[in-house]
């Protein structure tokens, strides 16, 4: 189903964009063939493009506009701060009142006691900070050999040179000549696709824990510094962990003095129906990376949370280390801090986490009721408001559609034609709508999506 206007009918904005912008994560051939979809306004869970077409945003932008579009509380806080003090930095011991308040409010909300927060502007830069902090920490405590990092295949941790290496998606490695660095990938906890035939989730978790333990043994625990994990894998295919996964992994990491870094860039601030993803699965991180939901996408901001275990070493060795030689111009931007303070207050006032705990399981049920028996729907999975629908040629054998069919993309386009934004990760379609979505809006989303699936794959 065609959704984009022909080249002659493209809006001025679309043509301007197409001839001048180099788009991230975009196939240039698709952009040239279809033209960009150019948005111009948003309100609540909806956005409107330059041609006046309205869409229900099933992805909250890029899993970030958790409080929905057009929130005056945040836009006014941004405007006030921009007028009062549009920028000041935090290098060389400088700070701003609003940043100090924001740091304190964030620490209050941490899932486990944390000592400090370090600010950046994106999830990628925050994970780069975590990597450097981990190496810095081990150097300071005299463990210069303990530097390797374990991540998982299908993980997404960012687009920087180190964080793209950490990311477990081969498509982000090929052609970029990334330095491999001291990064080791272990299996994704992808029960539906990768578990041996007939193995229960619980046993698969034990199986993956054994793989981790074997990897640590092979490499030597005294060479491994940290393990990075998203609670639910997002961009790598919307993969919730199998039952008991973090219960199995956590003690192994502790035993070998390996830091657990919770990448909560997507899962933080309520997306899984708990304030933090780690709370949804009951594990205790040593470091937390967050971004996106902290300002609900209204301002670029990221936050690394640093536990006492790591901070005490850094502070204790500070005299020896001298200047902490890391930071970004926009670390702790005061306008970002004002946006974050307004967003944090709204998350509390609107009881957003409770809403996700109610609406998330409702949405999963509705999708399963509507599409669970469809011949080409293999798996519908998720936690809170992170939900994926994996399509395939044969749900019995789990045979995939030929790549060339681009089934996921066809469904994405059919959804857009019906006024719904989803995201295609291969043939897994994902939803991560604003966390303020209500049941009626979920019904609309599910209806539009089910019709779009039917458009492309008549059952």
Which residues contact ligand PLP by CB under 6 A?
62, 122-124, 127, 156-159, 230, 234-235, 263, 265-266, 291
**Which residue, chain included where needed, has tokens 């300071």?**
140
Pseudo-torsion of CA 260, 265, 269, 270, nearest 10°?
A: -90
Helix (H, G, I), strand (E, B) or coil at 63: helix
User: Based on CB atoms, which residue is closest to ligand PLP, 305 or 401?
Assistant: 305
Per DSSP, what are the bridge partners of residue 259?
226
Residue 364 CB, shortest distance to ligand PLP, in Å, is 20
Closest to 287 (Cα-Cα) out of 125, 110, 103, 104: 110
- Enumerate the H helices of 21-160 as residue ranges: 28-34, 60-63, 72-84, 97-109, 123-140
Residue 330 CB, shortest distance to ligand PLP, in Å, is 13
User: Based on CB atoms, which residue is closest to ligand PLP, 186 or 313?
Assistant: 186
245: which 2 tokens? 């996964």
Residue 268 CB, shortest distance to ligand PLP, in Å, is 9
Residue 183 CB, shortest distance to ligand PLP, in Å, is 15
User: Based on CB atoms, which residue is closest to ligand PLP, 136 or 228?
Assistant: 228
Could you tell me if 289 and 130 are in contact, meaning their C-beta atoms sit under 8 angstroms apart?
yes
Residue 207 CB, shortest distance to ligand PLP, in Å, is 24
Residue 95 CB, shortest distance to ligand PLP, in Å, is 23
User: Based on CB atoms, which residue is closest to ligand PLP, 160 or 378?
Assistant: 160
User: Based on CB atoms, which residue is closest to ligand PLP, 265 or 287?
Assistant: 265
User: Based on CB atoms, which residue is closest to ligand PLP, 14 or 425?
Assistant: 425
* DSSP per-residue string spanning 133-167: HHHHHHHHTT-TT--EEEEETT----SSHHHHHHS
Residue 123 CB, shortest distance to ligand PLP, in Å, is 2
Residue 87 CB, shortest distance to ligand PLP, in Å, is 20
User: Based on CB atoms, which residue is closest to ligand PLP, 157 or 370?
Assistant: 157
Which residue number places its CB atom closest to ligand PLP?
Answer: 123
Could you tell me if 55 and 416 are in contact, meaning their C-beta atoms sit under 8 angstroms apart?
yes
Closest to 141 (Cα-Cα) out of 375, 6, 318, 292: 318
**Which residue, chain included where needed, has tokens 């809403």?**
355
User: Based on CB atoms, which residue is closest to ligand PLP, 118 or 156?
Assistant: 156
From CA 429, how far away is CA 424, in angstroms rounded?
5
405: which 2 tokens? 């069919």
Three-class SS string for 376-400? CEEEEEEECCEEEEEECCECCCCEC
Alpha carbons within 13 A on the beta-carbon side of 149: 27
User: Based on CB atoms, which residue is closest to ligand PLP, 111 or 158?
Assistant: 158
Residue 251 CB, shortest distance to ligand PLP, in Å, is 24
**CA-CA-CA-CA torsion sign (25, 31, 34, 40):** positive
């Amino acid at each position: 189903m065609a959704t984009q206007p022909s080249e002659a009918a493209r809006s001025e904005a679309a043509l301007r964009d197409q001839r001048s912008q180099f788009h991230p994560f975009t196939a240039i051939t698709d952009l040239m063939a279809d033209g960009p979809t150019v948005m111009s306004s948003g309100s609540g869970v909806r956005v409107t493009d330059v041609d006046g077409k309205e869409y229900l945003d099933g992805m909250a932008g890029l899993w970030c506009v958790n409080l929905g579009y057009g929130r005056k509380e945040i836009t006014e806080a941004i405007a006030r701060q921009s007028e009062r003090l549009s920028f000041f930095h935090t290098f060389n011991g400088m700070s701003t009142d609003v940043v100090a308040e924001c740091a304190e409010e964030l620490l209050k909300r941490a899932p486990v006691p944390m000592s400090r927060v370090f600010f950046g502007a994106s999830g990628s830069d925050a994970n780069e900070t975590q990597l450097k902090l981990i190496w810095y920490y081990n150097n300071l405590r005299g463990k210069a050999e303990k530097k390797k990092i374990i991540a998982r295949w299908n993980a997404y941790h960012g687009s920087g040179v180190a964080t793209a290496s950490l990311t477990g998606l081969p498509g982000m490695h090929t052609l970029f000549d990334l330095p491999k660095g001291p990064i080791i990938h272990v299996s994704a906890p992808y029960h539906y696709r990768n578990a041996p035939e007939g193995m229960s989730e619980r046993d698969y978790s034990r199986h993956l824990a054994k793989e981790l333990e074997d990897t640590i043994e092979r490499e030597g625990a005294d060479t491994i510094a940290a393990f990075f994990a998203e609670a639910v894998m997002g961009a790598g295919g919307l993969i919730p962990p199998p039952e008991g996964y973090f219960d199995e992994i956590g003690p192994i990491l502790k035993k070998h003095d390996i830091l657990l870094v919770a990448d909560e860039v997507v899962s933080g601030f309520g997306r899984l129906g708990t304030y933090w993803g780690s709370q949804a699965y009951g594990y205790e991180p040593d470091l937390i990376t967050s971004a996106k939901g902290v300002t609900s996408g209204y301002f670029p901001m990221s936050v690394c949370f640093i536990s006492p275990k790591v901070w005490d070493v850094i502070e204790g060795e500070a005299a020896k280390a001298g200047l902490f030689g890391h930071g970004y111009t926009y670390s702790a931007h005061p306008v970002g801090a004002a946006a974050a303070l307004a967003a944090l207050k709204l998350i509390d006032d609107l009881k957003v986490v409770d809403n996700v705990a109610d609406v998330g399981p409702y949405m999963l049920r509705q999708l399963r009721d509507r599409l669970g028996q469809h011949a080409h729907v293999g798996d519908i999975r998720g936690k809170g408001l992170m939900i994926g629908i994996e399509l395939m040629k044969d749900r019995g054998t789990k045979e995939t559609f030929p790549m060339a069919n681009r089934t996921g993309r066809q469904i994405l386009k059919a959804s857009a034609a019906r006024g719904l934004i989803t995201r295609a990760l291969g043939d897994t379609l994902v939803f991560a709508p604003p966390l303020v979505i209500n049941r009626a809006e979920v019904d609309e989303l599910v209806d539009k999506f089910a019709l779009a699936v039917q458009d492309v794959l008549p059952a």
